[in-house]
A and B are shown apart, each in its own frame.
Chain A
Amino acid sequence: MNRYSTEDIQAAADGDNQQFLVFSLGEEEYAIDILKVQEILGYENVTRIANAPDFIKGVTNLRGIIVPIVDLRIKFNLDKVEYDGQTVVIVVNVSDRIVGIVVDGVSDVMTLTPDQIKPAPELGVTMSSDFLSGLGSLENRMLVLVDIDKLLTSKEMALVEQVGE
């Protein structure tokens, strides 16, 4: 499937369009700003951190850098959480921190025009609407746009030391 037609590239070059990395959590499709993504890894060699919330799987070695790994599937109470050769970690760079997030799978990169992005709904998705930046509608698909910065630095993620803690 050739998604990167010249039109797409042309569109991406236009200032208003945004590119997103699309990943799946259970049945839903989510997307994050591609500029936040550093790389995509397989899930392996994660060292557990004691006394951390269960969705923090631990830390791993990314070429000498110690990176925490968060399983969003556990965080959002998905039923099926398995680790196998297909499990994918998206390494994102937010607020000067590098964090790996575990998702069910990464499907593709998409370009959305401003009119394809709708305001986030109050209810209806697994993720709290505080961390959503909108909904992307694309033909027959719906993408939940996640504000990954806000999500990973939020207090409930317990990834960042909060002031006064």
Chain B
Amino acid sequence: MDITDFYDTFFEEAQELLADMERHLLELDVEEPDSEQLNAIFRTVHSIKGGAGTFGFEVLQNTAHLFENLLDHARHGELTLRQDIVDVFLETKDMLNDQLNAYRNGEEPDQEAFERICKTLQQLALEEIAGSAPENGAPAAATPKEVAPAEEPKPEQDSTPVQTAESGDEQAGQRLIIAFSGVNEENRKLLVEELEQFGTIQAQSGDDARYEVELETTTSADDIESVMCFIIEPEQVETRAATPSRTETPTKEPEPAAATDQQQPGKAAEQPAPSVQDEKPKPPTAKKPAAKPANKSKAGESSSIRVSVEKVDQIINLVGELIITQSMLDQTVSTLEGITNTSLINGMSLLQRNARDLQEAVMSIRMIPMDFVFSRFPRVVRETSSKLGKQIELATEGESTELDKSLTERIIDPLTHLVRNSLDHGIESPDEREAAGKPRAGKLTLSARHQGGNIIIEVSDDGAGLSRERILAKARESGLNVSDTMSDDEVWQLIFAAGFSTAKEVTDVSGRGVGMDVVKRNIQGMGGHVQIMSTPGQGTTIRIVLPLTLAILDGMSIKVGDEVFILPLSTVLQSMQPSKDDLYQMAGSDEVLRVRDEYLPVVAVHQALDVAGAETDPTRSIAVIVQGEGRRYALLVDELIGQQQVVVKNLETNYRKVPGVSAATILGDGSVALILDIPGLHQLSRSKKDAHQLGSPASDKTMLSSSGG
């Protein structure tokens, strides 16, 4: 086994710690910082530092160390927090994240960025740490010198200042008693081996229940404890100083520890000697793995397990198959005579219920709460608003609403864009707001809720609202075809046109006009659509409607000739029998159907898809009014069969993209049915008509050659 096997575990953990850190930093009240929260932030940084040290990620370790020092001062009230300091902390958190990612990708982190953040942190330490003692300036100034070696390739060197700075008050020979409770012999041996790396073991004794090791070391009890925690649970370790006078000092009482901490950098500079001791912490990394798995699996059992999405999808597929088989059996059983087969029929209905429950349970595995998405917005709002000089209150609603994981990941970018847009263009500056009689702070609300088979995500602000005049003027300017009689809804949709921006000036945040069209396209790509509601002076709400999952679709099955197709139910608006009076022949062979004073292009499915034996007389077929990419069409089909949930199967896995078809599914009888793609179907029927008119140009030949069967 190799230490690298455990990199991933560390990365995962560190990522979670960083997320925690960010949350705490954002919740932190600068006026009255909660000491619990400061401690929590300190702990996360400390754990990351410990892990980074163990795995030899020096840059990460050093950055975390500087950060930790600052936080330590902050939690002891020696550093008065201000908004801009918290911003620096957030920046540092980002830097740690970047470094972590670099290591994860097997690269060295950006040195320049590292130096910059070190400088910023040192500067902050120098300027801000309250003058509880004059020597405070000195250690802070000394730190840069200490960090400098980190840039040099010699790894032993740069871990030195970090380790020494952390170490107990006496460099040579602090004696610690480390006690393990409930640790078996195998793990104990590993732990002792670990400890040997930190110093000299003076004595050891005890049994499984309690085992004590006396260690002479320069490393602080905290550090030793955090290393031990990789092998056993934190409750199982207890450290105390061997000499009675210093009992419990390092762990239980942070105050004196901090006091010593302050003096550390200075001391470290004077005493490079400990580096001899500290070169050793490298080797233990190689030994760690053997003990770690036990610890990991234990943690896993208690809460959650990580499973690859592939495995989950496989289960979903299999359950889909089960449902299909079950409905096949159901059909067979329903033809049987009821009285003699009671138990079989009862069994079947039980099977049906269980199968449905199973399907629901399996689908829920993929679902994660929207909190996963919303939780990153406090940061976005905070940064954007400070850049724009606006005051924003962010409210989130419906964080527990669940959405398919693949969709949550894809919704983040569009949503970020919409939030930035709202902050930049929607919400006015505090002065403007005051003049308009609104509170100075603007309100931005993110909400999510379920509605039918959809999830509705809204970004609403209480800003100035969209200006109809400005959008229309701008649209004319950019040469779009608009008129004053357009409905509000149509006008709002204009902002999704590519290159469209009504911002008076291009800002850092938004206004370049790229983006809204991308947002729209992304959301349509997920099978959803965007609506805009806006009231002048009161604000704008942008609503994203998405299907809950891409794996299952509510479908309407239709029949054309002998073939069955599926229409996504979300696209179906109504169905009707077209009358001759409502059908109009347009120039060429285009046909339109009048539905409530709207003229919809007619798409004859049998024509677009070359179905033989279908009804060709429009007045004898059924017109299904569908909507796709914002436009409506009238599809001519022979028969409506009914609604059903279908499992979406990709056609491209083994075949290729088929025009007019978005995917396939398997019907109750085991046969495959194609799911129609409305805009594609329309295009197909257009190109066919054109081809007919031009007498089938050769280029279309492949596309048009019918299979004839």
- The reply to whether A54 and B664 contact each other, CB–CB distance below 8 Å, is no
Residue in chain A with minimal CB distance to B658: A49
Q: Contacts of B610 on A, CB cut-off 8 Å?
A: 50-51
Assembly CA distance A56 to B705 (angstroms):
11
Q: Contacts of B321 on A, CB cut-off 8 Å?
A: 63-64
Contact partner, B656, options A54, A64, A160, Cβ 8 Å: A160
Assembly CA distance A97 to B654 (angstroms):
5
With an 8 A cutoff between CB atoms, is B609 at the interface? yes
Residue in chain B with minimal CB distance to A161: B656
- The reply to whether A47 and B671 contact each other, CB–CB distance below 8 Å, is yes
- The reply to whether B654 and A158 contact each other, CB–CB distance below 8 Å, is no
- The reply to whether B672 and A68 contact each other, CB–CB distance below 8 Å, is no
Residue in chain B with minimal CB distance to A93: B654
Chain A residues numbered 118-165 whose CB sits less than 8 Å from any CB in chain B: 158-161
Given A64-B321, A66-B649: A51 in contact with B658 (beta carbons within 8 A): yes
With an 8 A cutoff between CB atoms, is B284 at the interface? no
Min distance, Cβ A105 to any Cβ of chain B, angstroms = 21
- The reply to whether A64 and B320 contact each other, CB–CB distance below 8 Å, is yes
Given A51-B610, A59-B672, A158-B656: A66 in contact with B650 (beta carbons within 8 A): yes
Q: Count residues of A near B (Cβ-Cβ below 8 Å).
A: 28
Q: Contacts of A61 on B, CB cut-off 8 Å?
A: 666, 670-672
Assembly CA distance A20 to B523 (angstroms):
49
Min distance, Cβ B605 to any Cβ of chain A, angstroms = 9
Min distance, Cβ A106 to any Cβ of chain B, angstroms = 21
- The reply to whether A66 and B671 contact each other, CB–CB distance below 8 Å, is no
Assembly CA distance A67 to B666 (angstroms):
12
With an 8 A cutoff between CB atoms, is B585 at the interface? no
What are the interface flags for A30-70 relative to B under an 8 Å C-beta threshold, 1 for contact and 0 otherwise?
00000000000000010111111110111111011111100
Q: Contacts of B673 on A, CB cut-off 8 Å?
A: 47
Assembly CA distance A61 to B667 (angstroms):
10
Residue in chain B with minimal CB distance to A63: B321
Q: Contacts of A50 on B, CB cut-off 8 Å?
A: 608-611, 658, 660-661, 706-707
Residue in chain B with minimal CB distance to A98: B654
- The reply to whether B706 and A54 contact each other, CB–CB distance below 8 Å, is yes
Q: Contacts of B608 on A, CB cut-off 8 Å?
A: 50
Contact partner, B672, options A47, A63, A160, Cβ 8 Å: A47
- The reply to whether B318 and A67 contact each other, CB–CB distance below 8 Å, is no
- The reply to whether A47 and B656 contact each other, CB–CB distance below 8 Å, is no
With an 8 A cutoff between CB atoms, is A88 at the interface? no
With an 8 A cutoff between CB atoms, is B563 at the interface? yes
Chain A residues numbered 8-29 whose CB sits less than 8 Å from any CB in chain B: none
Q: Contacts of B88 on A, CB cut-off 8 Å?
A: none
Contact partner, A53, options B655, B684, B705, Cβ 8 Å: B705
Chain A residues numbered 85-128 whose CB sits less than 8 Å from any CB in chain B: 97-99
Chain B residues numbered 526-569 whose CB sits less than 8 Å from any CB in chain A: 563
What are the interface flags for B606-617 relative to A under an 8 Å C-beta threshold, 1 for contact and 0 otherwise?
001111000000
- The reply to whether A66 and B703 contact each other, CB–CB distance below 8 Å, is no
Min distance, Cβ A109 to any Cβ of chain B, angstroms = 25
- The reply to whether B609 and A51 contact each other, CB–CB distance below 8 Å, is yes
With an 8 A cutoff between CB atoms, is B709 at the interface? yes
- The reply to whether B654 and A99 contact each other, CB–CB distance below 8 Å, is yes
What are the interface flags for B681-709 relative to A under an 8 Å C-beta threshold, 1 for contact and 0 otherwise?
00010000000000000000011111111
With an 8 A cutoff between CB atoms, is B651 at the interface? yes
Residue in chain B with minimal CB distance to A49: B658
- The reply to whether A48 and B709 contact each other, CB–CB distance below 8 Å, is yes
Q: Contacts of A48 on B, CB cut-off 8 Å?
A: 563, 707, 709
Min distance, Cβ B331 to any Cβ of chain A, angstroms = 15
Residue in chain B with minimal CB distance to A83: B709
Given A59-B651, A159-B655, A159-B656: A66 in contact with B707 (beta carbons within 8 A): no
- The reply to whether B707 and A52 contact each other, CB–CB distance below 8 Å, is yes
Q: Contacts of B705 on A, CB cut-off 8 Å?
A: 51, 53-54
Assembly CA distance A56 to B658 (angstroms):
12
Q: Contacts of A49 on B, CB cut-off 8 Å?
A: 655, 658, 661, 674, 707
Given A60-B672, A61-B670: A66 in contact with B563 (beta carbons within 8 A): no
Q: Which of B321, B654, B660, B671 has the most CB of A within 10 A?
A: B654
Min distance, Cβ A124 to any Cβ of chain B, angstroms = 28
- The reply to whether A68 and B707 contact each other, CB–CB distance below 8 Å, is no
Min distance, Cβ B164 to any Cβ of chain A, angstroms = 55
With an 8 A cutoff between CB atoms, is B653 at the interface? yes
Given A48-B707, A63-B321: A68 in contact with B654 (beta carbons within 8 A): yes
Q: Which of B655, B657, B661, B704 has the most CB of A within 10 A?
A: B655
Residue in chain B with minimal CB distance to A67: B654
Residue in chain A with minimal CB distance to B318: A64
Residue in chain B with minimal CB distance to A81: B709
Q: Contacts of A158 on B, CB cut-off 8 Å?
A: 656, 702
Min distance, Cβ A62 to any Cβ of chain B, angstroms = 9
Min distance, Cβ A84 to any Cβ of chain B, angstroms = 14
- The reply to whether A53 and B651 contact each other, CB–CB distance below 8 Å, is no
Given A45-B670, A65-B654: A56 in contact with B649 (beta carbons within 8 A): no
Min distance, Cβ B565 to any Cβ of chain A, angstroms = 10
Q: Contacts of A52 on B, CB cut-off 8 Å?
A: 658, 707
Q: Contacts of B653 on A, CB cut-off 8 Å?
A: 65-66, 97
Residue in chain A with minimal CB distance to B561: A48
Q: Which of A48, A53, A161 has the most CB of B within 10 A?
A: A48
Q: Contacts of B702 on A, CB cut-off 8 Å?
A: 53, 158
With an 8 A cutoff between CB atoms, is B249 at the interface? no
Assembly CA distance A160 to B84 (angstroms):
56
Q: Contacts of B706 on A, CB cut-off 8 Å?
A: 50-51, 54
Assembly CA distance A45 to B671 (angstroms):
6
With an 8 A cutoff between CB atoms, is B317 at the interface? yes
Q: Contacts of A47 on B, CB cut-off 8 Å?
A: 563, 664, 671-674
Assembly CA distance A77 to B561 (angstroms):
28
Contact partner, A59, options B317, B320, B655, B657, Cβ 8 Å: B655
What are the interface flags for B189-222 relative to A under an 8 Å C-beta threshold, 1 for contact and 0 otherwise?
0000000000000000000000000000000000
Min distance, Cβ B657 to any Cβ of chain A, angstroms = 6
Assembly CA distance A40 to B643 (angstroms):
35
Contact partner, A56, options B317, B563, B707, Cβ 8 Å: B707
Residue in chain B with minimal CB distance to A47: B672
Assembly CA distance A41 to B324 (angstroms):
20
Contact partner, A51, options B317, B651, B664, B684, Cβ 8 Å: B684
Min distance, Cβ B137 to any Cβ of chain A, angstroms = 64
Residue in chain A with minimal CB distance to B322: A64
- Can you list 26 A-B pairs with a CB-CB distance of less than 8 A? A45-B670, A45-B671, A45-B672, A47-B671, A47-B672, A47-B673, A49-B658, A49-B661, A49-B674, A50-B661, A50-B707, A51-B609, A51-B610, A51-B705, A51-B706, A52-B707, A54-B707, A54-B708, A59-B672, A61-B672, A65-B649, A65-B654, A66-B650, A66-B651, A66-B666, A161-B657
User: What residues make up the interface of B, taking CB atoms closer than 8 Å to A?
Assistant: 317-318, 320-321, 324, 563, 608-611, 649-661, 664, 666, 670-674, 684, 702-709
CB-based closest 6 A-B pairs = A50-B609, A47-B672, A68-B655, A64-B321, A161-B656, A54-B707
Other A-B contacts than A51-B660, A98-B654, 18 sampled, CB-CB below 8 A, are A47-B672, A48-B709, A49-B674, A49-B707, A50-B609, A50-B658, A50-B661, A51-B609, A51-B684, A51-B703, A52-B658, A64-B649, A66-B649, A66-B650, A66-B651, A68-B654, A99-B654, A159-B656
